[in-house]
Amino acid sequence: MCGIVGYIGKQKASTIILEGLKRLEYRGYDSAGVATQVNGGFELAKKIGRVDGLMKATRAQKLPGTTGIGHTRWATHGGVTDANAHPHISSDQKIAMIHNGVIENYVGIKKFLLTKGYTFQSETDTEVLCNLLAYHYQKEPANAEGSRFLEAVRKTLRHIEGTYGIAVMCADCPAEIVSARKGSPLILGVGDGEYMLASDVSAIISRTQNVVYLKDGEIVHLTAKNFTITTLESEDVSPVIDKVSWTIEAAEMGSYAHFMEKEIFEQPLALENTMRGRFSEDGSTAVFGGLNISAIDFRQVDRFHFIACGSAWHSCLVAEQLIERFARVPVEVDYASEFRYRNIPLSKNALFFAISQSGETIDTLAAMREAQRKGYKVLAINNVVGSTIAREADGGVYQHVGPEIGVASTKAFTSQLLVGAMLALYIGRMRDMSFSSGIEYVKALKGVPDLVRETLKLAPQIKDIANRYAHYHDFLFLGRLTLFPVALEGALKLKEISYIHAEGYPAAEMKHGPIALISEQCPSVFLVSSGEMFNKVLSSMQEIKARKGKIIAIVSANCELPEGLADEVIRIPECHEAALPIIATIPVQLLSYYITVALKLDVDKPRNLAKSVTVE
């Protein structure tokens, strides 16, 4: 969740670290801090609030030194205070540390360290880890064959239970940083005479596109001249340097007011990139190059299991309906956070899909590992090349939508919907979907980017509606079949960025309880399409109207609503049922965005949330 940045080179470390922290602020913005190494000690600046506040209210930008570490925090252990902000300095002033993750056995370690004379200024598990490293460093004998500092880090981590991504400096070791990971992402940037560490590529892309994605259990030792990577067991690792395919401009806001706005309007291009090169030459099916499973083995699958969290879980619910509809194979969808704690009967020939934009979602990663432990193959759908889930999966699909900075997922979500629709086609064509149906399906998906462009033209109308409804405190989002998950997503978007209470329900379930909420003060957003569900959804709308509830209807273009039934009507293009969830998502994204803007809230950094959830 937290943002980590480290720098070692010839430039002023604090300036470079603060720039990196600004780019990582979507990972946590409760507090921020920087420490640099100077004259056998540390210069430190940290403060609650945003990175801008740290820069304005402290001497952070003036810290001297060419080696340093920085952190932007999403609070886990301990409240949001200056004392709990990172970096932490050990009580003997020997170690400076930043940390992302959770140390589960910190209470017992803290009790032990108190008996050894170590003192604590914060409530955090990180300060405990920092002092434990100081303890082992003092005990570690000078080692002619290696760094005493490095060996102390290695010994310390062997006593840890939980997850971590750390970057550490030692007062006795000028121009050195040691970093390690287990369950929390860390990336090494290899620049021209300099090295950087970060929990996300966006923090280092302005200085280098050459990166090493560290794996769990790996430790990197940086000096001003070189780096080495070893394991917790002291085994040498040969680094693989990858090149990031996007540039710094992709992670900047440009002329938009917010990253969320930018990413909503980037969706046509993002969807084109997701499907590029992924249809057969005859235009009848999808093609995936990285699944690492043969067509014969794919045909043996008798059940698909999808595991994900948050918006990605909603995309799985759509994939479930499309795969069952077009491929006639049963699908199960589980919250990744619940999956490994359930004793689920699994069929012999099941295949798993793990969906995570970042590829680092800790619950999804744990669920994936549990499925693999039971002998099942897991394919990943994610957006970050080199991420942990991408590396550990047995195969998968990259989304290729570019960096998503806004905490509320937009273009990554619609891309996940598109990949799910393409999987339904791919599996269906292996089974009983006809060639002509495949041609029709592919044509519909290829037309999605243009339909999204057309739908985005509704933004001024939706902004006007948002301004009229921003003062309400409760919303219902209602839909049927594949539009029910879109209703869930619409409710999630509204509550996570505007803090307005919202619930998503199948429209028919409304009368089984939620109808009690209906009043003039609780608007309902209906997602309405033509087809067999049209009249049934109209009946649900009539029930709400009879109770004086206000209705915002998002309807397919050829749906004729009775006069006066809806207070607001947003007409989206008519489209194929596989494309419908994508097109219907655009208005709910815009509605939530413009309501939040009208309330003058921070769209990109909603309270209590972070972009990548890397702690359980």
Assigned token pair, 613: 């959830």
pLDDT at 511: 77
- Sole residue written with tokens 């491929």: 327
| CA neighbours closer than 13 Å in the CB half-sphere of residue 359 | 30
- At 322-357, the pLDDT tens digits run 999 999 999 999 999 999 888 888 888 999 999 999
Kindly report the number of other CB atoms within 10 A of residue 276's CB atom. Answer: 9
pLDDT of amino acid 121 = 93
Per DSSP, the three-state class of 237 is strand
- The β-bridge relationship of strands 176-182 and 187-190 is unpaired
Name the token pair of 71: 């952190």
CA distance 86 to 99: 8
Cis omega (within 30 of 0) for bond into 64: no
Short-list 296, 311, 293, 265, CA closest to 456: 265
Fold observed for domain 3-250: Glutamine Phosphoribosylpyrophosphate, subunit 1, domain 1 (3.60.20)
- Fold classified for 458-604: Rossmann fold (3.40.50)
Q: Which of 30, 35, 42, 43 is nearest to 18 (CA)?
A: 35
Q: Is the pLDDT of residue 216 over 60?
A: yes
pLDDT, residue 563, reads: 86
Residue 287 in this model has a pLDDT that exceeds 60: yes
Mean pLDDT confidence for 230-254 = 83
pLDDT at 539: 82
Strands of 501-506's sheet in order across? 501-506, 474-479, 524-528, 551-556, 568-572
Confidence grade of residue 164 (pLDDT, cut at 50, 70, 90): very high
The reply to whether 2 belongs to the active site is yes
- From residue 403, how far is each of 149, 383, 394, 411, 416 by CA, in Å? 35, 8, 24, 10, 14
Q: If pLDDT is split at 50, 70 and 90, which confidence band does 613 have?
A: low
Mean pLDDT to the nearest integer, 532-557: 86
Distance CA 334, CA 352 (A): 11
Per-residue model confidence as pLDDT tens digits over 205-214: 889 989 999 9
Whole-number Å distance between alpha carbons of 141 and 94? 15
**pLDDT value of residue 144:** 44
Per-residue pLDDT, 530? 82
Sign for the pseudo-dihedral over CA of 454, 460, 465, 470: positive
Tell how strand 88-89 and strand 67-73 pair up.
unpaired
Which is catalytic among the residues 46, 262, 550, 611?
Answer: 611
Q: Do domains 3-250 and 458-604 have the same CATH topology?
A: no
Q: Is the pLDDT of residue 616 over 80?
A: no
Q: Does the pLDDT at position 1 exceed 70?
A: no
The residue ranges of every structural domain in the chain are 3-250, 260-446, 458-604
The model's pLDDT over 62-103, given as tens digits with 9 standing for 90+, comes to 889 999 999 998 777 778 898 999 999 999 999 999 998 889
Does residue 157 carry a pLDDT above 80? Answer: yes
pLDDT of residue 570: 95
Contact predicate 421/600, CB 8 Å: no
Q: Is the distance from CB of 474 to CB of 517 less than 8 angstroms?
A: yes
* 536: its two tokens: 């049934």
Residue from 2, 130, 309, 575 carrying the catalytic annotation: 2
pLDDT score recorded for residue 423: 96
Side-by-side strand order, sheet with 350-356: 331-335, 303-308, 350-356, 378-382, 395-398
Q: Which CATH entry fits the domain spanning 260-446: 3.40.50.10490, 3.40.50.720, 2.30.140.10, 3.40.50.300?
A: 3.40.50.10490
Q: Does the structure show a pLDDT above 90 at 375?
A: yes
Catalytic-residue membership of 522? no
CA distance 459 to 495: 20
For residues 564-581, average pLDDT: 93
Question: Model pTM?
Answer: 0.84
199/250 Cα distance (integer angstroms): 18
Q: Give the chain's mean pLDDT.
A: 90
Concatenated DSSP letters of 506-537:
EGGGGGGTGGGG-STTS-EEEEE-SSTTHHHH
Kindly report, residue by residue over 448-493, the tens digit of the pLDDT. Answer: 999 999 999 999 999 999 999 999 999 999 998 999 999 999 999 9
Mean pLDDT of 403-426: 94
